[in-house]
Structures are given as C-alpha cells and as structure tokens.
Structure 1
C-alpha cells in the first residue's frame, strides 16, 4: 500500500454560487469538479456510498470525521465502478488497518478519476447545506479568482431535468444463471442497480435477468417470460425517463412491480403523483420510516433527492410508509394492481436490514399473481373507460 503522493496534496477550494468558500487539501487527484454537493450522515460504509450509482453527478460530504480507516476491498463494492464526482472529508486516514483491505481509499479514487479532499470543516459545511439546500459548487485546485469560479458554478446545469440513468445503467444485458432453487423469473431494470438488491431477490427464490434502462418494453412483456418486474434505484430526476415510464405503464397489471427509490418515483409518476426536488435530500443509514399498515418504525438506509408529493385525490393508491424526519411519502401500493414501491433502500449496503422483509413481500405478491386468472391490465382498463 502506498501513502498519498505529495504531488496530490494541493490546496483545494470548494466554492458555491453565492461565493461561499471552504478550504482543504487534496488526497486524491487535483483539478476541477463542478457538481451538486450533498452530505451523507453514515458512520461507516464509504465504499458502498462511492459505488452507489444514485450519487452520479454529485460530490458527497461525509459528516463522520474519520474516513479511510478500513481501506477498500472488492467484496463491498455495490456496482462496477465509482459514480460520484468527488468526496469531501474532515480527516483522511491514508494507511488503513483492516484484514480485508486490498488498497487504501486514495488509490481507489485515483483509479476512477475521482477527487478526494480533506481538512474541510465538514460540520460547518453540512450546516451551510442544511440552511441553503443541496446546490452546485466547484471543487478546484485552481488559483483563479473566485469571481471566475463562481461563473463556472452558475452555468452548471445540476441534476434536475437531466437523464443520469442512461449513463448509470449497464448497457449490456446480463442474464443471471438459473438457480436450482428459484421459483420465479424477474425482469430487473437497471437504473443504477446495486448488487445487494439482486442478492436479496435471489435469496427469495427469484431468478433475475437484468436489463439496461434503454430496453424496449416488448423485450419485457413478450412470450410471458417473466413473472415480475423490478425497478431499481438510480440517480437524478425521474421526469426525463420517458422509456422507463412507458415500460412501467405497459407492465402495470400484467406483471407485479416492485420499485426502489428511482423505481419508486417512476411508479409514482405513472400512477399520477407529481415529484419534487427536496431541499437537501436524504442521504444516510439512520432514517426512521413508519409502516402505516403495521404501525412499526424501521430504521432505513436512504439516498435520494426527489420525492413524491402526497395527493389525496388518487383513490386507488395506498400510502404505505412515511418518512418520520419530514413526513414525506416513503412507500405506496396500488389497491387493485400488484405494484408497490418505497423511497428507501431495504437492501441496505450500507445500513440496517430492518426493511429486508419487503423482498419477501414482493416474492409473495408475484407467486400469488401467478396463481390467479388473467385480469385486465392498467392500460386495458383505461382503454375500456374511454369507450
């Protein structure tokens, strides 16, 4: 393992649109990164955060002060690479101490061209973001005047209205091997899929075929090859995801559907909800969510910037979960068609497994649907109502 090269230890500035500046020192790479800044409150799991595609287009501030202590290993990766733009920490430990460590964090960041900066007052920065909201900034080692750098921040488009999912999805079709114990065949749409989602689906007797988000809906529905549809997590704004919205609309009522995070937003839009960008999002592993069906409170892992706006006019929709931090909609279920989704990560990685039961609920929903006679789908019902 190597220490941080002195050439990578440069003064860095994090500059926001209003001219606010935080100073630190690089421990991985130099240069410029312009992106939205969010904070994550998890006390561990930085590798899982790095490899969560839902952070694409963002720089992440870790509120836990010590980062890098246990290094990096291949087992803890949640996707094929790092997707975020940069990480910002209070104190970086360049020599990890853990029996599983295969390399220090700074080597991992350099491999994927991701900046790392330490020495910034992350407590002050987090308070600034809570007050102002998640917003664009430039992280730079340039000595250019602040006025010039602020201009670069102002012309950055951010994440709203941008189709990040098409960049996060794996463009190659991945067919998982048939598992001897599997009962159900599930089509998984990769919007920025985390590996542990597939593991938990497999634990619940599901054989997964993973499709890119650009797949045509006919590939999912033809020949009745699949028993259910899973819509994964992913980065950015759901509004420009026209193809995913079409897949979900056509599949509703023909296949049971389970959505997580981006999948939750896509299903919600199809069912009539409007979406909105939150002030600073929810990023961490200690977010309380109440299951309104049982009254139980679960501690969940979360990573999202957009939410569904509650709409009492949608009579066919049951709100199943609420986020107790802000009372936002955290889970929905259609009362007629087999479809539900949640705005948190029941697969954890990192985080608690309190909500792991939802994968078994999906399994039971798919199995029950297979035993019923064919009923009209969502689109077929809408066409009847027009006659």
Structure 2
C-alpha cells in the first residue's frame, strides 16, 4: 500500500507572496483555494471527505500523514472535497488491518493536487500570524510570481455561497437502528455521514434534504424535529436556509444545528456572523458547556462564527437566547440556546469521527428536546 508514487517538483504560493518548494503528493497539476490548517493527529480520511473543506487547501500540522492508509468505511461523504492537500512527511507505506489502499494513490485517483516535504510548521505559523488566505499549489508552473498572480485572481472565502455545491441532489433516508422512535428532517448544507449514524443509534430515522428545500418539503416527511447540518462557505450568503430556520422556529418544531447550521440559526435569531482570523480546525479544542459547567475536548472545523454577547440573555424575535457554549482559547461563541422555542446549536462537531467523543451527549440532548415537546404537546 505504498504512497510513494513518482513525485514531481511542486510549489506552494500564498497570496501575500510567501512560497514553499517541495514535491507533489497525489495528483500532478495545479489547484487553488483558501489555505487553512488543522491540528488533528488522526482522522485524515474524515477530514479529506468532509464537505465543509470544499474549496480549501488543508495543511496538516501533524508531520506524519497516511500511516494507516485509507479504507472504504471512514469516508464522511462520497468523495474527497478538499481543493488541495499539504503534508510534511507522507507515509511511504500505509499499514492497518482495515486499509484497502494508500492515501497518495487515493488523492491521485480523485485528482487532488497536493504538496509534501515542506516546512508545515513555518507555514502554519505564517497563517496564524497573517490569517487564512488564498493559495495555489502547482507542479506545472514553478515560478512563484506567476503562480501568485493566478492565486490573487481567485475568489475569496468571504462572501462565498457554497452550500448549493455540496448538498445532495435529491432526498434520501437513513433508517433508525433497532426500534424507530423519531423522525428528523436534515437540511444538507454539507452534511457528514456520521450525523445520521449518531441519530440512527438513538432510534432516529433521518431524511436528508437538499439545501433548497422549502418548509412544506420538510414537513412532508412528518418530522419530529429539524436538523441544520455543517457545511462550507460564508453564512452571510445563506439567505434561504436562514429564512427556513425562522419558519421552523415559528412552527416551534424542535431544531438542532451544528457548525454552519449554528451560524444559520444565529443569523435567523438576528445575530451577525464574522470571519475568524485563521479559524478553528482540529480535534483538541477546549469548550465550556455553560449548562453543566463541564469542559469538553472537541472537534472543530469553522472559519466563521456568530457575534453574540456572552454573559446575558439576548432578546430576539423568538424570545430570550443565551450563549450555551464558549471556546476557552479565545471566547468565540460555540453554541446558542433559545429559551422560549425548542432550538439549540453548537459550533463544533459532536458527530466527530475519528473523535473526540466528549460532546456526543448533544445528540441525547436533541432527542430529549423532542421527547419534551411530545410530552407537553
């Protein structure tokens, strides 16, 4: 399962002109996107297949990537979504009893242009200091000035409306495991497969619906609750999902949103969103759950966040709302809870695979919200 296919010279060029030379990893060619870094030391296959990374060039801060190869079970979607991939030391041989191939070959097969052998620590420090920015990787043009000119012609992530590019083309259903208890309509803004798996384990049948779905189409599956999924892009562009979330809350149907879905609910409640300097991406972010007082180690993948006051109940069109979770690294809002309608969100990933699993209880909280509505109906 070797990933050591013949490699060409390659160059990575940031929009501010900083460049790194290395070797190709995956497909040869040229690619562009937003340069972001993720600190996870495991779960690279889940990262690559997460639709939230659409149009982003992912830098792995962990130096050794590809050690366990790839398999047919851990994908979060039907394809690799990253625009490009940056690693320091790709494994020469991937070895794991579940592996069915090598990471380098998988990247090449799906046409993902990457670069290896560069100082990813220096690149990460640069992005931390200067912020996420546009980037290009090329094996066909090794002139930094020439590549930089094309990088600067690329669209920025700020203002990017991307959910329509990653959503399902038609509805599909993931059945509950064991006895069916509840039905959820999930708005697919870039959903990961593990969301429906976590719900199925709790007896929930999930209908995954296109991002363009109307309230009538959601209600047609007779949902006990609605879910707004993670996804890529700038939430400030997502006017249709925001309007849909408001309609759901007007009906007082239980609602749960994760990541991009959390930003959608934030906008629906009247809050602004903003772009973080370099975002949160990794599986070791400390978050305080203000409901329990517990600190969770959580998985993140977001470059935008909700702007809301941390220490007060905020009056909105739907009653009082409070910040339920906060990141302990930088006080970024990581969750919202409505007090008068059955709606809550988190900005991070309780469905995270390969982990962490500290926040898996939030799916129980979602089911309890549905049970509470049923009991009081």
**Could you say which TM-score interval applies, normalised by the shorter chain?**
over 0.9
Taking the aligned partners of 2:118 and 2:202, their CA distance within structure 1 comes to 44
Deviation for aligned residue 1:160? 1.6
Matched position secondary structure for 1:220: helix
Structure 1 residue 340, shift from structure 2 partner: 0.1
Tell me by how many angstroms 1:147 deviates.
Answer: 2.5
Shift of residue 350 of structure 1?
Answer: 2.5
For 1:242, the equivalent position in structure 2 comes to 239
Matching of residue 336 in structure 1 with residue 340 in structure 2? yes
The residue number in structure 2 matching 1:159 is 157
Three-state SS of the structure 1 residue aligned to 2:276 is: strand
Checking the alignment, whether the CA contact within 8 Å between 2:32 and 2:84 is kept in structure 1 is no
Aligned to 1:191: 189
Alignment partners' CA distance in 2, 1:81 and 1:199? 18
Unaligned runs of 5+ in 2: none
Name the SS for the 1:277 alignment partner: strand
Pairing partner for 1:37 from 14, 26, 35: 35
Which string of whole-angstrom CA distances, capped at 9 and with x for unpartnered residues, describes residues 337-374 of structure 1? 0000001001111321101111000001011112324x
Pairing partner for 2:100 from 83, 99, 102? 102
Q: SS in structure 1 opposite 2:47?
A: helix
Given the alignment of the two structures, is residue 360 of structure 1 paired with residue 364 of structure 2, yes or no?
Answer: yes
Q: Distance in 1 between matches of 2:307 and 2:200?
A: 32
Name the structure 2 match of 1:5. Answer: 5
Q: Secondary structure at the match of 2:246?
A: helix
CA distance in 1, matches of 2:340, 2:214: 25
Aligned residues of 2:114 and 2:137 also touching (Cα < 8 A)? no
* Total equivalences in the alignment: 370
Q: Which residue of the partner structure matches residue 226 of structure 2?
A: 229
Note closer, same or farther for the CA distance 1:345–1:246 as it changes in structure 2 (3 Å cut): same
Map residues 231-310 of structure 1 onto 2, 5 A cutoff.
231-254=228-251, 255-310=253-308
Deviation at 1:314, TM superposition (A): 2.5
Q: TM-score, normalised by structure 1?
A: 0.92
Pairing of 1:96-175 with structure 2 (within 5 A): 96-143=94-141, 145-175=143-173
Q: Does residue 204 of structure 1 match 2:205? A: no
In structure 1, runs of 5+ residues without a counterpart are 374-387
The answer (yes or no) to whether the contact 2:5–2:104 under 8 Å persists in 1 is no
TM-score, normalisation: structure 2: 0.95
For residue 176 of structure 1, report the CA deviation from its aligned partner: 2.7
Deviation at 1:146, TM superposition (A): 2.6
Give secondary structure in 2 for the equivalent of 1:239.
helix
Q: Please state how far the C-alpha of 1:144 moved relative to its aligned partner.
A: 5.3
Which of these residues, 342, 349, 373, is aligned with residue 345 of structure 1? 349
The DSSP-based 3-state class of the residue aligned with 1:73 is coil
CA distance in 1, matches of 2:47, 2:191: 13
1:237 Cα deviation after fit = 0.9
Root-mean-square deviation over aligned CA pairs:
1.5
Change over 3 Å in CA distance of 1:338–1:253 after alignment to 2: farther
CA contact (8 A) 1:286 1:351 kept: no
Which range is displaced more, 252-261 or 312-321? 312-321
Cα deviation, 1:194-249, whole Å, max 9, x if unaligned, reads 11111111112211111011112211134x71110011111111122122112111
